[in-house]
């Protein structure tokens, strides 16, 4: 643990693993430690959203995630104990410019295992059983004190990132406040357990009621399900299979649902918190260390992954001496508002699930289809846009997408007739400039090699952006649109001067 590293990452959940993979593929050395003795168990964060799949595409693991995951297309809803809706929906058909249109279900432990495998391919591994005991900063870097195997060691690093969860040691050592609220009367048992007697077995079952709810979500390709069941205010509950069985019978009104021995069982308490700052000097916060969510809407894990992907390219430029002054400050400027938006959305989701609006309850059976459609649409929303961020410049009239949006995918044709996806071009470590002509696109890496020209014979790629010929779109290293301007204008050079050291 005494070796030098460009970045030390504390915490090896999805956020820390995503950041480590992204830094390594950008040529930055890192160490990632976790105080746990080994990988975490439990399904925990269960939903993987479209923008997160796009991040995983850049890390070259999206296909592996999709192979392991399942699209939740079958749902049964109950009001109290009475079933009021059963429906199936087909997954949304991917399109050329939207290759990941839907969220998918995958237990968090499996997502982490896929990320760890990718980390190993990139030449790094998690140091489990290693905890951060202290940190000191100076103008040139961070000296971290790490305890591992009963010994205290130091590690010198240029930057440190706390991805170590709601009880973040990094956040506490930095003295960053974590205001918000904890509601002790809003609690639930979470379990990974075999469920029998509940049909259809491939469906997600959701019970709604007055200050109570229960959800049973089957794992992809397994008899195990994730069970989330609320605990009544003031009720003393110990996490046990007996309590879980009792609560499942109470919420469902049935005594024929059989549970196996839980592989994982935990009590969840409602926390809604947002860190006062995401940065202190050369140390940063990401994921649950920066924002605490309700489990509804799958915002926690996805927001953390996007924190990591926003920070990764900026840290890489800083480590390489290529970042303009102030670039690292844009991490908090972009991600803290996104974290706040995700907190608000998850809070609304919990309130709707636990206490459906009273005025709707008598007619809920009639409107449940429309409500579920709305929830599905909202559930795809990762709150990822940076329209008002410091790195978003819209120099011409808005098109289909604008500065601050994720850049869409599309297909171009090489001079040899081969097809190439825009996502493959965005995977390059630097900025990517797309200069659109009528039926062609000039592509170059900012400050890089001679531009390549590709055919866009039907104008579909240009149509995905909704821009006219003679427009240049500058794509950031995290796949977001930084600049939309006329190709002949000075805005591109000015933009890069703001972001990159010259």
> Which 3 state secondary structure label does DSSP give 237?
coil
In the chain, what is the straight-line distance between the N-terminal and C-terminal CA atoms, in Å?
A: 35
How deeply is 281 buried, as exposed, middle or buried, from its count of CB atoms within 10 A (0-12, 13-18, 19+)? middle
**270 Ramachandran zone, left/alpha/beta (phi>0; psi -120 to 50):** beta
Instruction: Answer yes or no: are the C-beta atoms of 282 and 142 closer than 8 Å.
Output: yes
CA-wise closest residue to 311 among 283, 348, 292: 283
Tens of pLDDT along the chain (502 residues) come to 444 899 999 999 999 999 999 999 999 999 999 999 999 988 888 899 999 999 999 999 999 999 999 887 788 988 878 888 888 888 889 998 889 999 999 999 999 999 999 999 999 999 999 999 999 999 999 999 999 999 999 999 999 999 999 999 999 999 999 999 887 778 889 999 999 999 888 899 999 877 678 999 999 988 899 999 999 888 888 889 999 999 999 999 999 999 999 999 998 888 889 999 999 999 999 999 999 987 666 788 999 999 999 999 999 999 999 999 999 999 999 999 999 988 888 777 666 555 554 444 444 454 455 555 555 555 555 657 999 999 999 999 999 999 999 999 999 999 899 999 999 999 888 999 999 999 999 999 865 566 899 999 999 999 999 999 999 999 999 999 999 999 999 999 999 999 998 7
Six-digit token string for 55? 């991040």
| Strands 258-259, 283-285: pairing kind | unpaired
Which residue ranges form the domains of the chain, and what is each CATH number?
5-69+98-180+271-379 (3.50.50.60), 183-270 (3.30.70.2450), 393-499 (3.40.30)
CA-wise closest residue to 309 among 468, 147, 191, 476: 476
Question: Directed axis angle between helix 299-319 and helix 14-25, to 10°?
Answer: 30
Instruction: Answer yes or no: are the C-beta atoms of 24 and 122 closer than 8 Å.
Output: yes
Six-digit token string for 91? 């997954």
């Amino acid at each position: 643990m005494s070796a030098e590293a460009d970045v030390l990452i504390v915490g090896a959940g999805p956020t820390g693993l995503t950041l480590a993979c992204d830094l390594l593929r950008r040529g930055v050395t890192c160490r990632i430690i976790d105080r746990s003795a080994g990988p975490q168990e439990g399904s925990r964060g269960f939903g993987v959203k479209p923008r997160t799949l796009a991040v995983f595409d850049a890390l070259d693991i999206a296909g592996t995630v999709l192979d392991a995951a399942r699209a939740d297309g079958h749902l049964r809803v109950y009001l109290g104990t009475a079933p009021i809706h059963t429906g199936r929906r087909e997954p949304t058909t991917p399109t050329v410019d939207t290759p990941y249109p839907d969220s998918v279900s995958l237990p968090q432990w499996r997502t982490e295992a896929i990320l760890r495998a990718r980390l190993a391919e990139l030449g790094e591994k998690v140091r489990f059983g290693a905890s951060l005991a202290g940190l000191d900063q100076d103008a040139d870097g961070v000296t971290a004190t790490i305890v591992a195997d009963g010994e205290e060691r130091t590690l010198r690093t240029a930057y440190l990132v706390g991805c170590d969860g709601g009880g973040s040691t990094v956040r506490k050592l930095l003295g960053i406040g974590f205001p918000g609220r904890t509601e002790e009367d809003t609690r639930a048992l979470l379990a990974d357990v075999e469920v029998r007697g509940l049909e259809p077995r491939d469906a997600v079952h959701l019970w709604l009621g007055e200050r109570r709810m229960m959800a049973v979500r089957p794992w992809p390709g397994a008899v195990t399900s994730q069970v989330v069941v609320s605990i009544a205010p003031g009720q003393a509950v110990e996490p046990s299979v007996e309590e879980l069985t009792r609560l499942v019978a109470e919420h469902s009104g049935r005594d024929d649902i059989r549970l196996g021995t839980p592989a994982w069982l935990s009590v969840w308490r409602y926390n809604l918190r947002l860190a006062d700052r995401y940065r202190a000097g050369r140390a940063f916060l990401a994921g649950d260390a920066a924002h605490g969510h309700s489990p509804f809407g799958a915002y926690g894990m996805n927001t953390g992954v996007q924190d990591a992907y926003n920070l990764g390219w900026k840290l890489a430029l800083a480590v390489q001496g290529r970042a303009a002054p102030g670039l690292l400050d844009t991490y908090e400027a972009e991600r803290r508002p996104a974290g706040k938006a995700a907190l608000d959305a998850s809070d609304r989701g919990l309130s709707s699930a636990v206490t459906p609006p009273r005025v709707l309850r008598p007619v809920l059976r009639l409107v449940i289809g429309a409500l579920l459609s709305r929830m599905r649409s909202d559930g795809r929303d990762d709150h990822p846009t940076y329209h008002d961020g410091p790195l978003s410049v819209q120099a011409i009239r808005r098109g289909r997408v604008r500065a601050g949006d994720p850049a869409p995918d599309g297909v171009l044709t090489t001079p040899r007739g081969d097809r190439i996806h825009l996502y493959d071009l965005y995977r390059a470590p630097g900025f990517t400039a797309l200069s659109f002509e009528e039926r062609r696109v000039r592509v170059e890496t900012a400050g890089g090699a001679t531009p390549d020209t590709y055919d866009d014979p039907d104008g579909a790629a240009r149509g995905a952006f909704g821009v006219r010929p003679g427009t240049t779109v500058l794509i950031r290293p995290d796949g977001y649109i930084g600049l939309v301007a006329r190709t002949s204008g000075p805005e591109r050079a000015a933009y890069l001067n703001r972001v990159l050291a010259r």
